[in-house]
Amino acid sequence: MTTVTLVYPYFHPSNDNSIFRFPPLGLGYIAAFLKSRDVSVELVDCTFMSLPSALEKIRRSYPRIIGIQVMFSMKEKALELAKLLRGDCELLVAGGPLPTSNPEDFLSSFDVVAIGEGEETMLELVQALQDGNGLAKVKGVAFKEKGKTVVNPPRGYIKNLDGIPLPDRDMFDNQAYKSYYSKNFGYTTTSVITSRGCPFQCDFCSRPVFGNGFRSRTAPNIAEEVETVLRLGYER
């Protein structure tokens, strides 16, 4: 049995050869953070999977908690997955920019919405489930109680980004990503997140999750991740 299974519900259309096809580093960070606290984790990135295959992999992990990342382009599939997986876990959690911005929209399909950064919130949800203490003391979540929406006090942003373990890239299908880029563009590449937060107001980014205050990782910490990426065989 797995304690937490994290799901990235992006299903890659066969006719889409977008240059922006990257692994879900946000879930990679949460997975690494939970594993560093001895929590068993699975990560299901649906980018190169069919819906039936994704459902099989999620269910085969026998999760107590399922966390689904939601962005605007993934809302429909995230809600579909939530409906199909409702009976397969004890706690169904939505997180990411869209649930953070509008938690009420997801509480009819999910048990909990994680608002803002997910590392510490997911750990506290695990602890609350294991201890049987309920959700009242978990910061940065919204849930329904007796038919009414409860929004707990917000969680502060993580100040020291170097203190978070690097995203667990071994949980991604790196070969599939490399093959995709090599076939479509003639090179292999992946993404690295060097900072969180932004003072500007662009509509398309994850500022709702990471906030307006700019926080940066240090150069040695970033270099360590770049070396990890190169060891995995990415060219740039």
Q: Please tell me which residue, 22 or 236, carries the higher pLDDT value.
A: 22
Q: Is the pLDDT of residue 118 over 70?
A: yes
What integer pLDDT is reported at residue 204 of this predicted model?
A: 64
For residue 124, the one-letter residue type is: E
Q: Which residues contact 172 (CB under 8 A, 6 or more apart)?
A: 23, 24, 28, 43, 45
Query: For the chain, what's the residue count?
Result: 236
Q: Which residues contact 182 (CB under 8 A, 6 or more apart)?
A: 188
Average pLDDT over residues 55-69: 97
Q: Is residue 145 within 8 Å of residue 186, measured between CB atoms? A: no
Average pLDDT over residues 126-133: 94
pLDDT tens track for 137-190? 999 999 999 889 999 999 999 999 999 999 999 999 999 999 999 999 999 999
User: Phi first, then psi: what are they for 195, rounded to 5°?
Assistant: -155, 170
What ranges make up the beta strands (E) of the chain?
Answer: 2-8, 41-45, 63-69, 91-95, 112-114, 141-145, 148-151, 195-196, 215-216
What integer pLDDT is reported at residue 172 of this predicted model?
A: 97
Q: pTM for this one?
A: 0.94
